[in-house]
Amino acid sequence: MIKLKNLSKEFTQGIQSTRVLDNINLTIDKGEFVAITGASGSGKTTLMQIIGCLDSQSSGEYILDNQSVKDKNEKQLAQIRNQVIGFVFQNFHLLPRLTAMENVEIPLIYKGIPKRKRRQMSIELLERLGLRDRTDYRPSQLSGGQKQRVAIARALANKPKILIADEPTGALDTKTSTEVMDIFKELNDEGLTTIIVTHERSIASSTNREIVVSDGILLSDGKKEYSHESS
């Protein structure tokens, strides 16, 4: 599903250039539950952004779904972000003036789903995440856990192939973190490829595969032998 070949990323500022990712080789198969961890500044977020087509590599190759991402134009990349990848962010990134339902509808609008159908899909998604009675609430009226569940609903709106979560529990307390992780596990069980970027060991260890990034290189890539159910 995801294949990175000798992928590097450099940021140039003036004459100075910093290599944030150095020769990354990585393959993530369909249905995997992966954690990318590392200290802050290790390059894990950049790696996630490249995988999520939010950013592009400086060199090397990224093959998503058997297609090289390098060949895609701006419109095609937008379409990938819209329909192939679902994002969940640390700070939820919900639009404050829209209701929970309207936030979930955003990816559906960009896909071109008509209003009535969109509304129904949005409500179904929120219901599935236990927010049936919160559809008309604005983000400011929701708790952290509820906000993250709205964000997950939004990420799932267009039935993506890959779910990418960037520090999804960073702004949540332990109890809610566990709840949110349970949702991810559940989604993974249903076959959704899930990638979680985190610096928390406990969160990383609840996945099936921990990829550790340090100073732009892959430090370790540990596939657990045991299944996530027993962890």
Partner 1 sequence: MNPLEIVRIAFKSIIGHKLRSVLTVLGLIIGVSATTVIIGLGQIAENSLTKQFLNSGENIITINYNPVPRQEDYNASEIDYEMSPTITEQDITELRRSDDIKTLILSNSTTATLHDFKNDTIDVEILGLEEDTHSTNEYSIIEGKNLTSYDFNNIGSSILISEDFADRYFPDGEVIGDIIDISGYPMKVKGIYKNPDDEIVLNTNQAILPLNLYQNVYKSSTIDNIEVEAYDTETIEKAGTAATEVLNRNLGEEYTGQFEVLDLEELQKGITGLTTTMTFLIGGIASISLLVAGIGVMNIMLVTVTERTNEIGIRKALGATRRVIMFQFLVESSMLTLIGGVLGIILAYSMITILSMVFNWAILISPWLIVIAVMFLVLFGILCGILPANKAAKLVPVEALRRE
Return residues touching partner 1 (CB under 8 A): 49, 52, 54-55, 74-75, 78-79, 81-83, 87, 89, 91, 93, 95, 97-98, 106-107, 109-112, 114, 154, 158
Compute the distance between CA of residue 192 and CA of residue 163 in angstroms, rounded to an integer.
7
Instruction: Provide, rounded to whole angstroms, the least separation between the CB of residue 82 and partner 1.
Output: 2
71/74 with CB nearer partner 1? 74
58/83 with CB nearer partner 1? 83
Instruction: Provide, rounded to whole angstroms, the least separation between the CB of residue 91 and partner 1.
Output: 7
142/206 with CB nearer partner 1? 142
Instruction: Provide, rounded to whole angstroms, the least separation between the CB of residue 41 and partner 1.
Output: 14
- CA separation (Å) from 70 to 48, 53, 73, 181? 16, 10, 8, 32
- CA separation (Å) from 224 to 165, 191, 211? 20, 18, 11
Compute the distance between CA of residue 167 and CA of residue 46 in angstroms, rounded to an integer.
13
Tokens 């559940």 locate to 186
Classify strands 33-37 and 209-214 as parallel, antiparallel or unpaired. parallel
Instruction: Provide, rounded to whole angstroms, the least separation between the CB of residue 175 and partner 1.
Output: 25
158/208 with CB nearer partner 1? 158
